[in-house]
Amino acid sequence: MTTQISEQTSDLAELGWGNFFTSQLLSDALMNLTPARVKAVHRNRLEVIGVGFERMVPPFSPNEGELTPVTVGDWLLLDVETFRPLHLLERKSLVKRRAVGKAATEQLIAANIDTLFIVTSCNLDFNVARLERYLALAHEAGVIPVLVLTKADLAEEGVETYLDAARELERGLVVEVLDARDKATVQCLAPWCGRGQTVAFVGSSGVGKSTLINSLKGGDEIATGAIREDDAKGRHTTTGRTLYRLAGGGWLVDTPGMRELQLTEVEAGIEEVFADLIDIAAECRFSDCQHQSEPGCAIQAAMASGVLEEARYKRWQKLRAEDARNTATLAERRDQGRKFGKMVKKAKKDKAHWRDD
């Protein structure tokens, strides 16, 4: 297997392969398997691409009757004869969210990406609280966030107002302003879209993601839609996540517009976005300070002096509470799932034992 991979290294690198994945191929059990990357996930099949092939394969089911969720960007090892997925490689990054609805489940968005382009437009769509959510999502996933401002021509107060607000979201955040329809200005994103690099786009419907992707690809493969003038929101035009090849040699994951982004298991990501508040909180008299009415609270002192905006503090508290609540709920559901799985296995074992008798 290692010899086969060595011979294909250059071709695999074109697909986003690297040493992180090669290092996982030390087991003899993985011999005679061929790597393939998930290009799209369909209801009952996976579209994958590998060295010299692109095809549909069955869902990943390592155990009979049990499907393991995979997402766009994942690397699978396939049987060389049947092309059945037999192994899912560990991900170097994973962007996920709490699924919309009452069920406490998580939704996988994209795996093994290097850069997350957070797209918003210079109109009513620009929402600081939502952008902070996307940033927390990116940091927790371990990917580089880049904020992309589109529709600068619609900025009644001038693009500088949005640019300043964007730069204040977190320390050192890279912000790019462009016209999604202009291929020349879109080239500012080229450094993140080179050979073997993988990027993903997130943002609300109508902010120009599809137009931007078409500019990067040099075609009109992605459908686009106009925004509504009354609320600056767009009609959803992307129906599923797909991996697209870019002219610069990179790969791009488009994602459906996400109006609702419920965070879960992103404590570290939130701390990254609100690093300034974390630094201030470290000066509180008590290590378990709740930043309410405790004596010696540095957060309250910072708000009183004008160093810290109360609105930013409230957004921090809201995200922390939401993450803690969703994470606890998800952990409980996973525990229930494990118990149910054990019960099913025991029932099958008992049934087999009864038949043998």
pLDDT at position 41, please? 92
Residue 326 backbone phi and psi in degrees, to 5: -65, -35
How many CB atoms neighbour CB 207 within 10 A?
29
What are the DSSP E strand ranges found in the chain?
33-41, 46-50, 53-57, 75-79, 85-88, 94-98, 106-111, 115-121, 144-150, 174-177, 198-202, 242-245, 251-254
Q: Does domain 267-344 bear CATH number 1.10.645.10?
A: no
Question: What span, in angstroms and rounded, lies between the C-alpha atoms of 99 and 124?
Answer: 25
Task: Dig out the tokens for 66 from the structure.
Answer: 């049990």
Q: Give per-residue pLDDT as tens, 190-205.
A: 999 999 999 998 887 7
- Helices (H) and strands (E) counted in the chain, each on its own, are 10, 13
Taking only the tens place, the pLDDT of each residue in 89-129 is 999 999 887 765 555 577 888 999 999 999 998 888 889 99
CB 309 within 8 A of CB 317: no
Separation CA 99–CA 41 (nearest Å): 16
Beta-carbon contacts of 125 under 8 Å, excluding residues fewer than 6 positions away, are 204, 206, 207, 232, 233
The answer, yes or no, to whether residue 331 has pLDDT greater than 70, is no
- pLDDT for the residue 205: 75
Helix (H, G, I), strand (E, B) or coil at 305: helix
DSSP-derived secondary structure for 166-221: HHTSSTT-EEEE--TT-HHHHGGGGGGSSTT-EEEEE--TTSSHHHHHHHHHTS--
* Reported confidence tier of residue 225, pLDDT bands at 50, 70, 90: very low
pLDDT of 220 strictly over 60: no
Q: What is the pLDDT of residue 152?
A: 79
- The yes-or-no verdict on residue 144 having pLDDT over 80 is yes
- Residue 232: the pLDDT is 43
For the record, the structure tokens of 121 come out as 């437009």
Closest by Cα among 133, 170, 145, 159 to 274:
170
The stretch 131-146 carries a mean pLDDT of 92
pLDDT in tens, 227-283: 444 444 444 333 467 898 998 899 998 776 555 566 767 888 899 999 999 999 999
CA dist 163 → 176, 274, 311 (Å): 9, 19, 19
Q: What is the mean pLDDT of residues 57-85?
A: 87
Least confident piece of the model among 21-25, 99-103, 177-181 = 99-103
Q: Give 335 or 68, the one with higher predicted confidence.
A: 68
Cα 154 to Cα 179: distance, rounded to the nearest angstrom? 11
Model-level pTM?
0.78
**Cβ-based burial of 305 (10 A; exposed 0-12, middle 13-18, buried ≥19):** exposed
In CATH, what is the architecture of 2-88? Roll (2.30)
Query: What is the distance between the alpha carbons of residues 227 and 192, in angstroms, rounded to a whole number?
Result: 28
pLDDT at 190: 92
Q: Which of 117-121, 179-183, 193-197, 289-293 has the lowest mean pLDDT?
A: 179-183
Lowest-confidence range among 55-64, 148-157, 162-171, 330-339?
330-339
Query: How much is the pLDDT for 1?
Result: 47
Is residue 105 within 8 A of residue 334, CB to CB? The reply is no
Give me 208's structure tokens.
């120009």
Domain ranges of the chain: 2-88, 94-254, 267-344
**155-172: per-residue pLDDT in tens?**
777 788 899 999 999 989
Residue 53 has a pLDDT of: 94
Query: Does residue 337 register a pLDDT over 50?
Result: no
What does pLDDT average to over the chain?
81
CATH of domain 94-254: 3.40.50.300
Model pLDDT, residue 344: 43
